[in-house]
Amino acid sequence: MENPARRASTPPVAATRKLWPGALAMLAVPVLLLIVGPHLPAYPLRILDMILLYAILGLGLNIIVGYAGLLDLGYVAFYAIGAYSWALLASGQFDIHLPFALVLLTGASLAGFAGILLGIPVLRLRGDYLAIVTLGFGEIIRVLMNNLDGVTNGPQGIARIDEAHLFGWTLSTPDDFLYLLVGMLVVVFLFVWRIQASALGTALSAVREDQDAARGCGINTTRVKLVAFAFSAFIGGACGVVFAAMQRFVSPESFTFWESLVIVLVIVVGGLGNPFGALLGATLLILLPELLRAYADYRLLFYGMALVIIILARPRGLIARQFGPSWLMRRLGGGKC
């Protein structure tokens, strides 16, 4: 007789495969971006690039906060590790000029390793205590970058970073980065979507709901948390490398607590645990300040009021968790996940 616990913890293969039509349907959005984006003026195109970058960051953070229910307020640390990886390994700072693809993998891997190092000491922490420790980790990385004058050039930052070249393709304009970011968004979205529909996603959900009960059901909560931290940090590090390549300048001022807060707000406003929510939240939080530029004196006031209204009206986010892959699959006629 089949073990009911095993059947409940492992999604059926057929049901999991039926998730892919819904995920592939999301490719219509990147195709539309690739068609419309290159025809936009430089400034709107730059904003679109930042929306895509924060959407990818939101998808990465969603693994920790949305799926596992672990509040991480120091996510910007992994973002900074990736950015400084490109700044140090592809500039005149140490006269090292490594290729972009290699540094992208290296920076993301270093950030993933840092995520594991952060995850080990906080495995037993929850709630406010976990938030304080992760916040401290983010500030430690920023202060470290600010004080290592001989390595990171301190508060002056690192300028004259090399142009990124990917397989003979030079990334120098917002159009170039649009193609790169759309490709990254598709890969990360499908990866995060697949996690939610996998046994790992089921384990993360169990950890989110009740860690003690999950451990009692035989789930290795330690391994599940470390894997979640590693995947999330890896994505953040990759985004940091791309950000540094776009700016061609990095400094500690780009990685303050405010940046972490914006990334958290992306998934809180969009909808925790929902990959679609990260896309919508990034669009709103990056686009709204630009639309309020005409009201310079009251810009932050209006921005804060808008966020308060959204959160009060939609406390579970603009797209709630239940409207995720399983819901879309049912709407497409795939049955229940």
197-209 residue pLDDT tens: 888 888 998 988 8
162-200 residue pLDDT tens: 999 998 899 988 999 999 999 999 999 989 988 888 888
Does 336 have pLDDT greater than 60? no
Q: Which residue has the higher pLDDT, 127 or 15?
A: 127
CB within 8 Å of 30: residues ≥ 6 apart: 182, 185, 186
CB within 8 Å of 273: residues ≥ 6 apart: 62, 66, 67, 196, 208, 321, 324
Evaluate if pTM is beyond 0.85: yes
84-120 residue pLDDT tens: 999 999 998 999 999 999 999 999 999 999 999 988 8
Measured CA angle at 129 (ends 142, 73), to 5 deg: 35
The sign of the CA dihedral 128, 133, 138, 144 is positive
